[in-house]
């Protein structure tokens, strides 16, 4: 059974700092991995999708990497801003067709001005 773990559970950084959020998964047979942002009491906003054949994806100040063999992904946020404060979730899709996303519990990020 696929398990997704995100460390740390919470992170507080000063504005402007670069930071890395970690995601690990137990079964490396994944089809893709998706990073989401969740604001308190709100929905999930898709940030980046990495296919299993890719090593990384970039969108603006965000860069996500994937090491499938070791079961790890990282989300790098450059030059953090207070508006980046949110919970960041990673989710993996198993390598067997129309199967559900398995989510981690998320990392709650606070960027202090």
Partner 1 sequence: EPEVTQTPSHQVTQMGQEVILRCVPISNHLYFYWYRQILGQKVEFLVSFYNNEISEKSEIFDDQFSVERPDGSNFTLKIRSTKLEDSAMYFCASSELVAVELFFGSGTQLSVL
The site for partner 1 (CB under 8 A) is made up of 31-32, 34, 36, 41-46, 49, 89, 91, 93, 97-106
- Min dist CB 41 to partner 1, Å, is 7
| Closer residue to partner 1 in complex, CB, 1/14 | 1
Q: How many CB atoms lie within 10 A of CB 36?
A: 21
Are 20 and 75 a contacting pair, CB within 8 Å?
yes
CA angle 99, 10, 27 (to 5 degrees): 30
Tell the smallest beta-carbon distance from residue 10 to partner 1 (Å).
Answer: 13
Looking at beta carbons only, is 66 or 80 nearer to partner 1? 66
Q: Which is nearer to partner 1, 83 or 100 (CB)?
A: 100
Instruction: Give dist(CA 109, CA 88) in Å, integer.
Output: 7
Burial class (CB in 10 A: 0-12, 13-18, 19+), 76: middle
Q: How far is the CB of 60 from partner 1 (least distance, A)?
A: 16
Residue 109 C-beta: closest distance to partner 1, Å: 17
**Encoding tokens for residue 91?**
């989710």
Nearer to partner 1, 89 or 111 (CB): 89
């Amino acid at each position: 059974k696929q398990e997704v773990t995100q460390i740390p559970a919470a992170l507080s950084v000063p504005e402007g700092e670069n930071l890395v959020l970690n995601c690990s998964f137990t079964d490396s047979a994944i089809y893709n991995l998706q990073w989401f942002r969740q604001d308190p009491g709100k929905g999930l906003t898709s940030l980046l999708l990495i296919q299993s054949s890719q090593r990384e994806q970039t969108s603006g100040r965000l860069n996500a990497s994937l090491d499938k063999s070791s079961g790890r992904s990282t989300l790098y946020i450059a030059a953090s801003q207070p508006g980046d404060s949110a919970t960041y979730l990673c989710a993996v899709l198993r390598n067997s067709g129309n199967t559900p996303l398995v989510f981690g519990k998320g990392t709650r990020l606070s960027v202090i001005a």
